Amino acid sequence: MRGRRGFTVVELVIALLVGSILTSIALSSYGNAQGGFAVRGARTTFASLLARARAQAIEAGTRVQLFVDVSGDSIFLRQGASNLETIHFADDLHVDVRSSIGSFRMCMNSRGYADTDCNNSTVTLSFWQNADSSSVTVYPLGQLVY
């Protein structure tokens, strides 16, 4: 009689079972990490919009306003009467925006500084997705602290 080659059915079932358990653990870990990536990405997007407001104000030589609408989970840039850009965090990034003072605006002047007549308080802006969050503190002169 010849020696058998290959795997038995029991060995194949055990290998598939172990593989499926490891796959489910990996997918669960990925799902948990995905929320953290989303909120950090939203924080970076906000910082980029603030930098764009500053750069646009310098380039155009006029005031540019950054509005944070907490109830609509959106942030938009406005120069004069026209909107330059709008980000809907709930729709685009699936992130909830919260603020320590509610909705607010920041104004950048033509020299690239924040106008204190428009920005008069320190604001903590938080981005949430499920249990994950990331915050940034915005000071009246436009400085950001992560």
pTM given for the model: 0.78
33-52 burial, b at 16+ Cβ within 10 Å, e below that, comes to: eebeebbbbbbebbeebbeb
Per-residue pLDDT of the chain (146 residues; tens, 9 = 90+): 566 777 888 888 999 999 988 888 887 777 667 788 889 999 999 999 999 999 999 999 999 999 999 999 999 999 988 999 999 999 988 999 999 888 988 999 988 888 878 877 889 999 999 888 999 999 888 888 98
Any idea where the domains of the chain sit in the sequence? 9-145
Rounded-to-integer distance, Cα 136 and Cα 139, Å? 10
User: What is the arrangement of strands in the sheet containing 64-69, beginning at the earlier edge strand?
Assistant: 82-88, 74-79, 64-69, 104-108
Rounded-to-integer distance, Cα 19 and Cα 14, Å? 9
- Per CATH, the homologous superfamily of domain 9-145 is minor pseudopilin epsh domain (3.55.40.10)
